[in-house]
Amino acid sequence: MARHLVTSALPYINGIKHLGNMVGSMLPADVYSRYLRQRGHDVLYICATDEHGTPAELAAKEAGLPVAEFCAQQHEAQKAIYDGFGLAFDYFGRSSSAQNIEITQEIARELNRYGFIEERSIRQVYSLDDERFLPDRYIVGTCPHCGYDKARGDQCENCTRVLDPTDLIDARSAISGSSALEVRETKHLFLLQSKLADEVDAWVEQHGKEWPTLASSIARKWLTEGLQDRAITRDLEWGVPVPGDTWPELAAEGKVFYVWFDAPIEYIGATKEWSDRAPAERDWKSWWWQADDSVRYTEFMAKDNVPFHTVMFPATLLGTRAPWKKVDYVKAFNWLNYYGGKFSTSQRRGVFTDAALELLPADYWRYFLMAHAPESDDTSFTWELFAATVNKDLADTLGNFVNRVLSFSRKRFGDEVPAGKEAGEPERKLGEEIAGLLAEYEEHMETLQFRKAAQALRALWSAGNSYLEEKAPWLEIKTDQEAAALTLRTAMNLIHLYAVVSEPFIPASARTMRSAFALDGDDAQWVTPEEARALNAVPAGTSFTVPPVLFAKITEEDLDAYRARFGGAEEAA
């Protein structure tokens, strides 16, 4: 089996993330990692909080905390929420770790050694009122490309164009709001991307052919426009320090590396954290350094992160001339909107992950988000669509099937799976249908087509309902108890199958379904085509219990309360 390295874009440290952040990287990476583990692959899923940069300093200042303390608290708060969503990271690290500092500095030294870093004097914005140079994100203003009036000095959140602070119209300090700005000379390190452009282009040409169109087109756009040399240091108090053994003057001035230089390196840093914190030795380099062809590396991210991961980070690794593992597949997502408008962390618009878990268990959100994942285009969250999906797919199609099968069987046959007749033609047809649908589900999971995978999973659940309606055990039992027993035993085997194959999407509910049956040594990781056709994993005589209702329906009263709290179409417009 292959070894799979999986990373998702690092959630930024300044505040709890919204559902758009969740579906754009971490959740699909978790679904994919869970699936791969079930299929027997060696999987390493790595993520971390992205803790450096201007927003961390600004948020810490607003909270009245030292930035290190603020980041430590926020890391724990975010990790608790991701645990609540059932995200099964192999390791969830911190970009402020000693390991990331060490590796970032060493990569910078190697880039310098091979002539891909240059110290340049530049003219940079200085705030007279703040008495400091302002890094790009400390400057806000109007985007010259789209007119968005809250664009940051490094990138416009609205049109995603990369900016320099001096591009902004009506620029002002994000610290004080002062427009008393002037341009002064200072020194910074530049990554000479222009010298690496041909190598990056060749690398994207070789590896990007199998990427989704969204990822490959963004990378191609950047390359077509031409790679520019880019400053990779900033004037901040918090960040990976420029190493004094290589750049003593800049180190003495307190320069730190640009967050977008060290953040992707944290994938490597977090893997070393994972290795260093293990009681037994783990070989982190086997995943990243001279990794053999058995390692397949998949990255998950929203589209605004794609340029950095498909161009800048590969350029960084290529320029070291070291055998770092580079990404094989980039799974990029469009945006999940809120009633057609953007979720916004800064403006607290939309549903945030902490509030989501207060309302309903994680599986409701996991299934909905993946069933409506913004893969081919932007999608929109509405409370009406959320309720319709939960009620139809989870409550009616899956939950009701589980409850009525187990409840009816216990009522008529007791607390053990009944035997009944030998399987007949309806069961043979059902087995073939289940095997076919399972193959479709596997194909979509293998190709990371999550909406299609959710559709195939829903079709598996629906097949059980169709079989139950066709056989109608509530009628069979009046004339042929053995026939009714066969129908219920078959349906119980479907429940067990659903528990196994639904685990990537709804892990908590899958555990509940599986634990309903007292099966000794039930260690099935997946379902083979033969097992799908046979539907006999749960033999007659197996004790079972009826679990609580798996999924409660969302009522109109619930919807009214949700819209009142979070807003609906009118408030989002």
Annotated binding-site residue numbers for Zn(2+): 143, 146, 156, 159
User: What are the CA-CA distances from residue 96 to residues 31, 59, 99 (Å)?
Assistant: 27, 16, 8
Q: Please answer whether residues 227 and 275 qualify as being in contact, where contact means their C-beta atoms are separated by less than 8 angstroms.
A: no
Binding site per annotation, positions: 143, 146, 156, 159, 345
Q: What is the 3-state secondary structure (H, E, C) of 373-407?
A: CCCCCCEEECHHHHHHHHHHHHHHHHHHHHHHHHH
Give the Cβ contact number of residue 183 at 10 Å. Answer: 12
Q: Residue 82 carries which DSSP code?
A: H
* CA distances (Å), origin 400, targets 29, 360, 549, 553: 29, 18, 8, 10
Query: What does residue 97 show for φ and ψ, rounded to 5 degrees?
Result: -70, 155
- Alpha carbon distances (Å) from 71 to 13, 353, 531: 6, 18, 49
Please name every residue paired with 262 in a beta bridge, in sequence order, or none if there are none: none
Backbone angles phi, psi at 186, to 5 degrees: -150, 170
Among candidate residues 116, 388, 334, the one with its CA nearest the CA of residue 215: 334
Tokens 């079972």, residue located? 544
What is the end-to-end Cα distance of the chain in Å, rounded? 49
Q: How far is the C-alpha of 35 from the C-alpha of 343, rounded, in Å? A: 29
Task: Give the DSSP per-residue string, 160-171.
Answer: --B--GGG-EEE
241 DSSP assignment: B
d(CA 197, CA 223): 7
Q: What is the CA 532 to chain-centroid distance, rounded? A: 30
> Which tokens belong to 443?
């194909």
Q: How far is CA 289 from the centre of its chain?
A: 24
- Distance CA(296)–CA(34), nearest Å, equals 15
Residue 286 CA to chain centroid, in angstroms? 24
| Per-residue 3-state assignment (H helix, E strand, C coil) for 414-429 | CCECCCCCCCCHHHHH
Most distant pair of Cα atoms in the chain: their distance: 92
d(CA 566, CA 560): 10
In the annotated binding site for ATP, the residues are 345
Beta strands in 128-255 (DSSP E): 132-133, 139-142, 151-152, 169-173, 181-191, 230-231, 233-234
Residue 302, φ and ψ in degrees, nearest 5: -80, 165
Backbone angles phi, psi at 517, to 5 degrees: -105, 130
Contacts 24+ apart (CB under 8 A), 445-448: 445/32, 445/35, 445/504, 448/28, 448/32, 448/298, 448/329, 448/331
